[in-house]
Structure 1
C-alpha cells in the first residue's frame, strides 16, 4: 500500500483499441453532455456558496450537497476522459452523477467529517493561486505562439493537455495506437486539475500536492485492498461505501427545472438591473431618459432618420408605454437649424430627387450612413405643412411629441435648405412605464431565484432513503443461491 495519500482519487483506464477516426467527431457527440453540465455547474457554484456558509458556521460540508458536487466533478471527468481531456475511451459517458463501475474513468472524494472554518475563507482564492497558475498552463493559456499577417496577431492557447491530446490523436489516426507515455502524462495533469477543483470547491482541507502523479491508476491515493468488493480503490479515510442513493426520474426533472429557473432568474436580474440603471441613471431633470449626444454630418442637403415604425394596436397604448419623445439638435459651430418629424411617405415625397443622407445606425463610437444622390430641395422645409412637429432657429432646438402609431421619419436641415450639415443631437423619452417595469422584473426574478435555489437544495439535500445497491443485490442473490444449493 502507498503511504502517500490524498483524499481525491482520479482513475482512467486506456482502451486497448481506439477508433482512429471517432475523435474527429467527438466534439459533436458530447454536445448533449455539455448542455447538461452547463446547468449542473451553475448548480455546483450556487450550492458551493451554500456549503461555504455551512462550513463557516458548523465546520461541516452538508452531505447531500457534497455528494451532488462530487457527482458533477465525476460526470465532468468522464466526459473529459471520453473527449479532448484525454481521448482515453470510445465508450460513451453515462448520464449520471453516480459512479459507474464498468466505465473506465472514475473520480471519488473522501467525505470530510470536519473542515476548517478559517481555511474556508482563504483557500479557494488566496491559497490556491499557485495551483491556478499551474492549472492555467495545463488546460489553457499556457501554450502560445503568434504570427503577424495583415497586421493581425494569431495565437494558440489550448493548454498543454490539449496540445498533447492533439499529438496523441494524430498518432492514433496514422498508427491506430495511443502513445502510452503521452496518456500517462495527460492523466497526471488531469489529476492535478481535478484535485485543485475539489480543493477550490471546499471539499478538502489538505493542500493539493505539487506532484505530477502520472498514469491511469492514481498513484497518489492509498489503495484499500482490505475492501476487495469495492468497484475500484477508494481514497484513504473514506467511509465504507454506502448503498447508492438513486435519484428518481421525478427528482431529476425537478433538479433540471430548478437549475433552469435559477439561470433564467439570473438573466432576469441582469435585465432588471439594466432597466433600473436606465430609469435612475439616464433620466434627466426634465424627466426624459436620454441618450448620449452624437455628432451627425452630411455633404448633402438633409439628414434623415431610418423609418420609425410604432404599431401597438390601440392608439393610446404607445403613449402609456413610452410617454413623450424628445429630440434636441444643435448646429456644430453655431448657426440656425431646422428639425421636423413627419410621416415617412410625406418625407419620401419631399426628398425625392434631393441629395440627402439617411442615418442607419447610431453609436457612441460608430455611426453608419446611406447617401442618396440628388439636387437641392425646391422648397425650404419650414414652408411645408407635412410636419407632425417642427422647430427652427439658432442654438439648441428641441421638439417634443407624444409617441403614436405610424411610420415616422425625423429630418434635420438648414432652414434655407443649404448644403452640408454637422450637428450634435440626442434623443429621449419620458418612458412612464419604465419604473414599474424594472420593479416587476426584479421582484419576479428574485422570487424565481429563491424558488429555483430552494428546489435544487431540496432535491439534493433531501435524498430518498437508500435502498440496496447493485453490489448488495448481487451478493444477496449469490447468498440465496448458495443457501438453495446447501438445502438441496
Structure 2
C-alpha cells in the first residue's frame, strides 16, 4: 500500500457565498499576522530539529507537534482563503486538530528520520520545488499582470461563484491536489516524515489510499496557559529583525573597513566612460552637514577621483557648483552619467551642439581640479552644496574616454563594526532561545502524554483472619 504518512483532507461546503471570496483577504489579516510569527518559529525550530536528528537521531516530540500544528493551521487558512476557497467557515485560531472543520491534516506515526537526512533533504526536495514553482509561479502575462496556474484557477472559480453560485468540482479537486502536494513537500522538508513525497497530483477531497484500520487520533491539548509560550515566541520573532539588521550592519562595516587603503580611502571598481561629446558629467551631488563629520571624526570627508586615459591623452577632472557647470556647458552637447547597469555606464545626452568646450583649466569656478597625462587624480575635502564632477580632455576637444575610479575617506570602523556584529549575535542567540522556548512550550501542549510508569512491585498483601470474640 503506497500510503503517504501525511493525510490532507478537505470537505467542500455544499453551498458557498457568491461574493465572500472578494473580502476574505481582509478577514484573514489576523491569521496572516499570526502565521507570519508561527512560520518564523517553524523555520527556527526546524533548524533545531535538524541538529537534533543529526546528532541524536531523535526528533523532539514538542517540535514535531508545533510544526505539525503550523501546517494544520496554514491548511485551514488556505482552504478558507486563496488556496482553495473551499469553505466559508472561518478558521479557528489553534494549532490543534479541529475534527469538524472542513480542512483537516493528519500525520501517521512512523520511523524516526535517519541521521543523514537533514544534510540532503533540501537537496532531494528541489525537483518537487521546481514542479510546484511552475504551478504556483507566474506562467503567463495577460494585460501586463502575471498569472499563475493557481491564480487562474482561483479566478475562474471566483467568477463562477459570483455569477452562478456554484463552484466547479473539477477546479476544487485540482486546487486541493496542488495544496496536498505542497503540504507533503513541507512535511518532508521539516522532517515530520522521512518518506519521500510522491510525484503525484492526488486530486479530490480525500486521499486516494484508504486510511489505516486504526487511525491515530490527534492528542487533545493539555491544560495550562499558553500566554507565556506565546509571549516568548512573539518576542523572539520581533527580536530577530533588529538582531539580523545589527549583525549584518556590523559585518558590512567590517568589510568596508577591510577595504580601506593606507590613507583611509575606500575605492570603487573601475568604470569605463566614453562619449563622442566634449565632457562627461556626474551631477546632482548634494552634500549636507559635511562639517559635522569633518569636525568630529578624524580621517573622514575626503573624496578622490582617479581617471586614466586608455589612449594616454591628457585629461581634466574637476568639481564645481552644479549651476556653474550648467552655465559653462550651456548649448554644448555632453553626456550626463545617470546610473550603472551591469557594470556599464548609462548616460543622458544633454541637448546642444557637439563642439569643443572652452579651456577647462582656465575656468574660475572649480573648487578642486586636476590634470595629467595618462592618469589624473583629484582630491577634495567635501563641503556643503550641490556639485557636479566633470571629466574632459585637457584641450576641451570632443571624444572623451577614461577609466574612472571614485574613492571616499572613511574612519577606522573596526570597533564599531565589531561591536555591532557582537550585539547582533547576542540578540540573535536570545531571539532563537525565545523562539525555541515558546515553540516548544506550544508544541508540548499537543504531544502525546507519556504512559504512566508502573510502580515498584511489592509483596502481595496478606489477608487478615476475622477476629473471634470469646465469651
Instruction: Give, in whole Å, the separation in 1 of the partners of 2:120 and 2:283.
Output: 55
Unaligned runs of 5+ in 1: 226-235, 468-488
From 284, 309, 314, the equivalent of 1:307 is: 284
Does the CA contact (< 8 Å) of 1:315 and 1:404 recur in 2? no
Tell me the CA shift for residue 243 of structure 1: 2.5
Instruction: Give, in whole Å, the separation in 2 of the partners of 1:52 and 1:465.
Output: 18
Instruction: Give, in whole Å, the separation in 1 of the partners of 2:237 and 2:420.
Output: 19
Instruction: Give, in whole Å, the separation in 2 of the partners of 1:378 and 1:133.
Output: 58
Is residue 5 of structure 2 the alignment partner of residue 11 of structure 1?
no
**Per the alignment, in what secondary structure is the counterpart of residue 314 of structure 1?**
helix
The TM-score normalised by the length of structure 1 is: 0.76
1:341-372 CA-partner distances (Å, limit 9, x unpaired): 23445445544565544333345224122515
211-220 or 188-197, larger mean C-alpha shift: 211-220
**Per the alignment, in what secondary structure is the counterpart of residue 405 of structure 2?**
strand
Match of 2:87 in 1: 89
**Per the alignment, in what secondary structure is the counterpart of residue 387 of structure 1?**
coil
Tell me the CA shift for residue 74 of structure 1: 1.4
**Per the alignment, in what secondary structure is the counterpart of residue 269 of structure 2?**
coil
Matches within 5 A, 1:300-379: 300-312=277-289, 314=292, 316-317=294-295, 320=298, 322-348=300-326, 350-351=328-329, 355-363=333-341, 364-373=343-352
Match of 1:407 in 2: 386
Unaligned runs of 5+ in 2: 447-471
1:435-488 CA-partner distances (Å, limit 9, x unpaired): 445434422322221121111011122459969xxxxxxxxxxxxxxxxxxxxx
Does the CA contact (< 8 Å) of 2:257 and 2:412 recur in 1? no
Tell me the CA shift for residue 396 of structure 1: 0.6
The TM-score normalised by the length of structure 2 is: 0.79
From 271, 283, 294, the equivalent of 1:294 is: 271
Instruction: Give, in whole Å, the separation in 2 of the partners of 1:377 and 1:132.
Output: 59
Is residue 187 of structure 2 the alignment partner of residue 198 of structure 1?
yes
Structure with the larger RCO, 1 or 2 (CA within 8 Å, 6+ apart) = 2
1:396-431 CA-partner distances (Å, limit 9, x unpaired): 100122334343332223333334423221101232
Q: Structure 1 residues 308, 179: closer, same or farther in 2, change over 3 A?
A: closer
**Per the alignment, in what secondary structure is the counterpart of residue 84 of structure 1?**
coil
Instruction: Give, in whole Å, the separation in 2 of the partners of 1:155 and 1:4.
Output: 40
**Per the alignment, in what secondary structure is the counterpart of residue 18 of structure 2?**
coil
433-442 or 323-332, larger mean C-alpha shift: 433-442
Matches within 5 A, 1:34-53: 34-53=32-51
Does the CA contact (< 8 Å) of 1:339 and 1:390 recur in 2? yes
Is residue 375 of structure 2 the alignment partner of residue 396 of structure 1?
yes
Instruction: Give, in whole Å, the separation in 2 of the partners of 1:211 and 1:395.
Output: 66
How many correspondences in the alignment?
444
Q: Structure 1 residues 379, 357: closer, same or farther in 2, change over 3 A?
A: same
From 443, 448, 458, the equivalent of 2:422 is: 443
**Per the alignment, in what secondary structure is the counterpart of residue 316 of structure 1?**
helix
Match of 2:73 in 1: 75
**Per the alignment, in what secondary structure is the counterpart of residue 16 of structure 2?**
coil
Instruction: Give, in whole Å, the separation in 2 of the partners of 1:286 and 1:130.
Output: 51
Instruction: Give, in whole Å, the separation in 2 of the partners of 1:393 and 1:124.
Output: 57
